[in-house]
Amino acid sequence: MPETDQAARRLRRPYPDPAWLRWTLILAAAAVVGVLIVIPVAQVFAGALAGGASVYWDNLFADPDTRSAILLTMTVVPLALVANVVFGVAAAWAIARFRFPGRTILTALIDLPFSVSPVVAGLMFVLLFGRQGYLGPFLQGHDIKILFATPGLVLATAFVTFPFVARELIPVMEAIGDEEETAALSLGASGWQMFRRITVPNVKWGLLYGIILCNARAMGEFGAVYVVSGHIAGQTDTMPLRVEKLFQEYNLPGAFAVASVLTLLAILTLVVKAGLERRRPEGPHVD
């Protein structure tokens, strides 16, 4: 039945694109992805494994400075994540649930770390905590080290990645509304019970998604960390800083080896994110 076929095709597309146009567009997209993403990523692994598996292993774990960089990133990133989950949930709650003066300004400020250059963010912390900074003398007097130490790295990383969790949560919480929370309270729940049993399950997909994005960005953070770390080898070098340093020292296999680990972590994040997206119900269903 040709008529039905035609009708079906019309349903699929409002008008048919010619084959040459379709294939040109597909090839162009594939070429861009290939040249800009696939080949460079493959190159990272090729460079890392150029000397064989044992050299790769040595490059990663025989060098104490590289080892410490991997360890430092694994310390800084979880701490920054925890801080951002706490602050992100608090900020999203305040913005989605309350109407208060300055709410619009707070909403705009949450996005600030996205628009400020990470280097500037790092400088802000130097200005605040540095020897000549506002809090510098106080910190020195009490023997507290923030700059050129792990706390500074955590602060800088958390600052740069702050918007992810809050940004993911605000629309979800606004769409879901506070009726279920009020219902929980009317049934005798305490504030904490309401939060844990009703709010968290309702926003868990948004929260997880925010954490994953935040994690990906935090692992790769370079600019802000570069400024506050003082790049002391074996002490305040995170993985991205270590890659840069090895590269500057013409140790290409070493640089590629560390870069390959970062890349692997990024790919892993993407896989987890894709898996979550498949399981995540389509948006918060509000009826």
Partner 1 sequence: MSIEVRNVIKAFGSFRAVNDVSLTVPTGELVALLGPSGSGKTSLLRIIAGLERADQGQVFFEGEDATVRAARERGVGFVFQHYALFRHLSVFENVAFGLRIRPRPARPPEAEIRRRVMELLKLVQLDWLADRHPAALSGGQRQRVALARALAVEPRVLLLDEPFGSLDAKVRQELRRWLRRLHDTIKVTSVFVTHDQEEALEVADRVVVMNQGRVEQIGTPQEVFDRPATPFVMNFLGHVNIFHGRVESGKAILGPIALDYPDHPGEQSLPAAGYARPHELEIARSADVAGGLWAVVRHVHTAGAVVKVELADDEGRLLQVDLTRQDHAQMRPEPGESLYVRPRTLRVFVNAAGDAGA
d(C-alpha 216, C-alpha 214), whole Å? 6
Tell me the residue type at 205. Answer: W
User: Is residue 197 involved in binding partner 1 (CB under 8 A)?
Assistant: yes
User: Is residue 287 involved in binding partner 1 (CB under 8 A)?
Assistant: yes
Q: Which is nearer to partner 1, 104 or 186 (CB)?
A: 186
Q: Which is nearer to partner 1, 180 or 244 (CB)?
A: 180
Q: Which is nearer to partner 1, 58 or 178 (CB)?
A: 178
- Residue labelled with tokens 């920054």: 80
Q: Which is nearer to partner 1, 9 or 197 (CB)?
A: 197
Cα–Cα distances in Å, from 138 out to 53, 124, 135, 148? Answer: 50, 17, 5, 16
List for the chain the helix, strand, coil content (%; round to 5): 80, 0, 20
Q: Least distance to partner 1 from the beta carbon of 208, Å?
A: 14
User: Is residue 97 involved in binding partner 1 (CB under 8 A)?
Assistant: no
* Whether 190 contacts 84, CB under 8 Å: no
Stretch that binds partner 1, among 54-62, 68-76, 184-192, 228-236 (CB under 8 A): 184-192
d(C-alpha 181, C-alpha 92), whole Å? 15
Q: Least distance to partner 1 from the beta carbon of 99, Å?
A: 12
Query: What's the burial of 259, exposed, middle or buried (CB within 10 Å: 0-12/13-18/19+)?
Result: buried
List the one residue from 18, 179, 250, 282 that touches partner 1 (CB under 8 A): 179
Q: Is the dihedral of CA 146, 150, 156, 162 positive or negative?
A: negative
Contacts of 218 (CB under 8 A, 6+ apart): 76, 77, 80, 81, 157, 158, 160, 161
Taking CB under 8 A as the criterion, which residues in 133-152 touch partner 1? none
List the one residue from 182, 249, 270, 276 that touches partner 1 (CB under 8 A): 182
* Whether 212 contacts 273, CB under 8 Å: yes
User: Would you give the binding string for partner 1 spanning residues 201-230, x where CB under 8 A is met?
Assistant: xx----------------------------
Q: Which is nearer to partner 1, 181 or 221 (CB)?
A: 181
Q: Least distance to partner 1 from the beta carbon of 76, Å?
A: 34
Q: Least distance to partner 1 from the beta carbon of 196, Å?
A: 10
Concatenate the DSSP letters of all residues of 229-241 into one string: HTT-TTTT--HHH
List the one residue from 43, 117, 140, 190 that touches partner 1 (CB under 8 A): 190
- Residue labelled with tokens 């629309």: 171
List the one residue from 19, 186, 248, 278 that touches partner 1 (CB under 8 A): 186
Q: Which residues bind partner 1 (CB under 8 A)?
A: 179-180, 182-190, 193, 197-198, 201-202, 285, 287
